[in-house]
Structure 1
Amino acid sequence: MRRLPWGYRVRFSVESDDGGPRGTTTRRRGVAGVTDGERGREFVEGRFDRWWTRFLAKGLDRYDLQNLRDDIGAWEEWCETFAAVGEEHAEHGREAEAAGNATTAGEHFLRASMYCHFGSFAWFVDEGRRERVHRRGVELWERAAPHLDPPAERIEAPHPGGADVPGYLRVPGGTPDGLDESPLVILLSGLDSTKEEQHTRASDFHARGIATLSVDGPGQGEMWYTRTMTPDYHEAISAVVDHVEGVDDVDASRLGVYGVSIGGFYAPHVAANDDRFDACVGLAGPFSVGPASLYRSVSMRDGFLHACRADSFVEADEITERMTLRGDIEDLTAPALMIAGGNDTVIPPEQTRRIAERAPNGELLYYPDGDHVCKNRVTQYRPYAADWMRERLV
């Protein structure tokens, strides 16, 4: 493994989201260790503190966020309050579209989609309401799609399990170094994210002439309705590659995969099981997902139960304990860049380091002060990772 110059180990500790010890696993559907009624103002404040930088990075308005923080008194109110703000931005989008201002319309619809996404992404109080807001977010993103630069095309790749894999393909107008077609990077989300949230990371590649395809895999986003989390995640992504191999303007023989958080596990898992991938980036991913019941983060525990459609951690653990690179890592022969932060309180950085050390062509980009997915080092790791991927695909 080639270790980058600033890489070194730091002491690591894990805390629960609320700063206290991990609770018991007795729960109502969608709630781990605490009932919805106990998730009041203090819990809501904690969510804003934890996700504030993520909200801003995805284009949410600081003034809106401050008002939402003041207005939401309990977790039960979170989903629909966020969605209401999304509808305000959607109205601005319709007005801009009617006036012929396509770029502005796209910006408004995209922002509206993000409010719906963040209203529903880790909220499992009422599945009917969550689904309604999630699907509305997808609808708004697709309203933005033709107005984006580059525009997005929805694809649905046939999957052997009978459920299509949905995604957004975006191909930039120019190609790198005079290539006839753009290389392609497939973007994979984490436990609580979806393909709609990947637009910022996709822009790094578009600026370098590389096409992107953001997808929902089993247990994620739209695909959750038909396929739950599975140790065979790679089969869905291989089906996506089959589907795009003949797409015009895309050179699928120059293929990369990039995953974030649990997606940082999926990316090397996919590349190890499909030798068509030429490069792999994994951000803050675990070598082994392990038992869902051992995670100390409230949102992670909720998320695993939801992704697995499980009523108990006994059921969820049966799935997540089988999600490991232990039998795959030697097959990850493509160049693999793993990125980790020393202050990650969700995925221990030693887990990500282990992928880099065990992969035949692995290397580690390590930020001693980096938090989970290195949100506090975005301006450093994102251009580095995009340049690294470009060098290997071009």
Structure 2
Amino acid sequence: MGVTDDRGREFVEGRFDRWWTRFLAKGLDRYDLQNLRDDIGAWEEWCEAFAAVGEEHAEHGREAEAAGNATTAGEHFLRASMYCHFGSFAWFVDEGRRERVHRRGVELWERAAPHLDPPAERIEAPHPGGADVPGYLRVPGGTPDGLDESPLVILLSGLDSTKEEQHTRASDFHARGIATLSVDGPGQGEMWYTRTMTPDYHEAISAVVDHVEGVDDVDASRLGVYGVSIGGFYAPHVAANDDRFDACVGLAGPFSVGPASLYRSVSMRDGFLHACRADSFVEADEITERMTLRGDIEDLTAPALMIVGGNDTVIPPEQTRRIAERAPNGELLYYPDGDHVCKNRVTQYRPYAADWMRERLV
């Protein structure tokens, strides 16, 4: 899908306004961002401008690595990866260029992986459909009191995020002795190249669970799932279809994804067309209309915490509330002034959700 409509300076300003707090939360530098905001004159320039800044940070990473400063190298490579991610995550002007920058971001994240604390190990879980499910497994050095192995939380991204972006959320669990596995499912990140968005997303995550059940230092019998935005739909969808999950957190997810064509957000509409690899909303709607918890919600018997903000203009908060109210063991954490994925309440909901999950897995 190529974006051919006129998206000039005003559109670029709108993207920076929309994503500014998200950029900062993932470790991008405020000075870099302001320079990018000043320099990018049209949407067509966005991807390569972000990638160029990413390469500057990658060079800092190589210098630190050569000097034997592993922690610093990891920080630089991780930040470099995030610039490539945010350059490509919602930019569909030219697929060849988008893919090059996206794959470079993955490469840089994996360069950071051994230097992180805890380090990350790449896993590729065989999928019945023939495409492996990629992910990053991170196991903290210490376990919760009384346990020989760490419980595991599988982290699911949304429409435009990927496994590389989940490092901040993962750190909440590592601090509590819980291992994390951030994955790209169908229609996301690396898996998009082999499997597009599907109502059968849960099958890929069940394949991941099969794969990690024999991994050392991880207790997959104590298993949680945590999803963000559209991932906040995937998480209860997965837990309802696989009873190995002991707890579920969904942040700002819909009960039913519904027709992609009805979303007001330009980035959401573009994202659905891309995730479905569809040439029209007729095609995309045929996929997204089948993505619903109707018929599944009664099977979500694991404790389920749904989190949403009253000022969410992307996913109607009533959709998330419906999951909490219809799930047999659901509960709602509601912030009346919270925006989409409660970015303005990060310091409140993130520790709450991590503690909530720990109590149910430990």
- TM above 0.5, yes or no, is yes
TM-score, length-normalised on structure 1? 0.91
Q: Deviation of residue 34 (structure 1)?
A: 7.5
* C-alpha contact (below 8 Å) 2:169/2:350 kept by paired residues: yes
Stretches of structure 1 that go unaligned for 5 or more consecutive residues are 1-32
How far apart in 1 are the matches of 2:108 and 2:319?
36
Q: Which residue of 1 aligns with 2:334?
A: 366
Q: Which residue of 2 aligns with 1:340?
A: 308
Tell me whether 1:121 sits opposite 2:100 in the alignment. Answer: no
Output one character per residue of 1:270-316: Cα deviation in whole Å (capped at 9) or x when no partner: 00000000000000000000000000000000000000000000000
* C-alpha contact (below 8 Å) 2:3/2:92 kept by paired residues: no
Output one character per residue of 1:139-164: Cα deviation in whole Å (capped at 9) or x when no partner: 00000000000000000000000000
Percent of counterpart pairs with the same letter? 99
In the alignment, which of 266, 287, 296 is matched to residue 328 of structure 1? Answer: 296
* C-alpha contact (below 8 Å) 2:3/2:93 kept by paired residues: no
* Aligned residue pairs, count: 361
Q: Deviation of residue 195 (structure 1)?
A: 0.1
* C-alpha contact (below 8 Å) 2:58/2:80 kept by paired residues: yes
* C-alpha contact (below 8 Å) 2:4/2:93 kept by paired residues: no
Q: Secondary structure in 2 aligned to 1:96?
A: helix
Stretches of structure 2 that go unaligned for 5 or more consecutive residues are none
How far apart in 1 are the matches of 2:181 and 2:4?
38
Tell me whether 1:148 sits opposite 2:116 in the alignment. Answer: yes
TM-score, length-normalised on structure 2? 0.99
Q: Which residue of 2 aligns with 1:355?
A: 323
Q: Which residue of 1 aligns with 2:169?
A: 201
Output one character per residue of 1:205-250: Cα deviation in whole Å (capped at 9) or x when no partner: 0000000000000000000000000000000000000000000000
**CA pair 208-270 structure 1, distance change in 2 beyond 3 A:** same
**CA pair 66-241 structure 1, distance change in 2 beyond 3 A:** same
How far apart in 2 are the matches of 1:142 and 1:93?
12
**CA pair 34-249 structure 1, distance change in 2 beyond 3 A:** closer
* C-alpha contact (below 8 Å) 2:125/2:208 kept by paired residues: yes
**CA pair 34-129 structure 1, distance change in 2 beyond 3 A:** closer
How far apart in 1 are the matches of 2:144 and 2:314?
36
**CA pair 337-59 structure 1, distance change in 2 beyond 3 A:** same
Tell me whether 1:251 sits opposite 2:251 in the alignment. Answer: no
* C-alpha contact (below 8 Å) 2:123/2:136 kept by paired residues: yes
How far apart in 2 are the matches of 1:326 and 1:357?
13
Q: Secondary structure in 2 aligned to 1:196?
A: helix
Q: Deviation of residue 40 (structure 1)?
A: 0.1
Output one character per residue of 1:337-388: Cα deviation in whole Å (capped at 9) or x when no partner: 0000000000000000000000000000000000000000000000000000
* C-alpha contact (below 8 Å) 2:133/2:184 kept by paired residues: yes
Q: Secondary structure in 1 aligned to 2:145?
A: helix
Q: Which residue of 2 aligns with 1:168?
A: 136
Q: Secondary structure in 2 aligned to 1:110?
A: helix
How far apart in 1 are the matches of 2:20 and 2:285?
30
How far apart in 1 are the matches of 2:225 and 2:112?
25
* Greater relative contact order (CA < 8 Å, ≥ 6 in sequence): 1
Q: Secondary structure in 1 aligned to 2:293?
A: coil
* C-alpha contact (below 8 Å) 2:212/2:220 kept by paired residues: yes
Output one character per residue of 1:18-64: Cα deviation in whole Å (capped at 9) or x when no partner: xxxxxxxxxxxxxxx9834x100000000000000000000000000
**CA pair 34-194 structure 1, distance change in 2 beyond 3 A:** closer
How far apart in 1 are the matches of 2:196 and 2:66?
40
How far apart in 1 are the matches of 2:151 and 2:4?
47
How far apart in 1 are the matches of 2:149 and 2:219?
5
Q: Deviation of residue 177 (structure 1)?
A: 1.1
Q: Deviation of residue 80 (structure 1)?
A: 0.2
How far apart in 2 are the matches of 1:34 and 1:100?
44
How far apart in 1 are the matches of 2:96 and 2:310?
38
How far apart in 1 are the matches of 2:32 and 2:344?
22
Output one character per residue of 1:110-156: Cα deviation in whole Å (capped at 9) or x when no partner: 00000000000000000000000000000000000000000000000
Q: Which residue of 1 aligns with 2:3?
A: 34
Q: Secondary structure in 2 aligned to 1:310?
A: coil
* C-alpha contact (below 8 Å) 2:16/2:37 kept by paired residues: yes
Q: Deviation of residue 269 (structure 1)?
A: 0.1
How far apart in 1 are the matches of 2:181 and 2:280?
34
How far apart in 1 are the matches of 2:59 and 2:148?
40
Q: Which runs of 4+ in 1 moved over 3 A?
A: 33-36
How far apart in 1 are the matches of 2:259 and 2:4?
22
Output one character per residue of 1:150-193: Cα deviation in whole Å (capped at 9) or x when no partner: 00000000000000000000000000013100000000000000
In the alignment, which of 177, 180, 183 is matched to residue 212 of structure 1? Answer: 180
Q: Secondary structure in 2 aligned to 1:340?
A: strand
Q: Which residue of 2 aligns with 1:389?
A: 357
Q: Which residue of 1 aligns with 2:152?
A: 184
How far apart in 1 are the matches of 2:4 and 2:148?
56
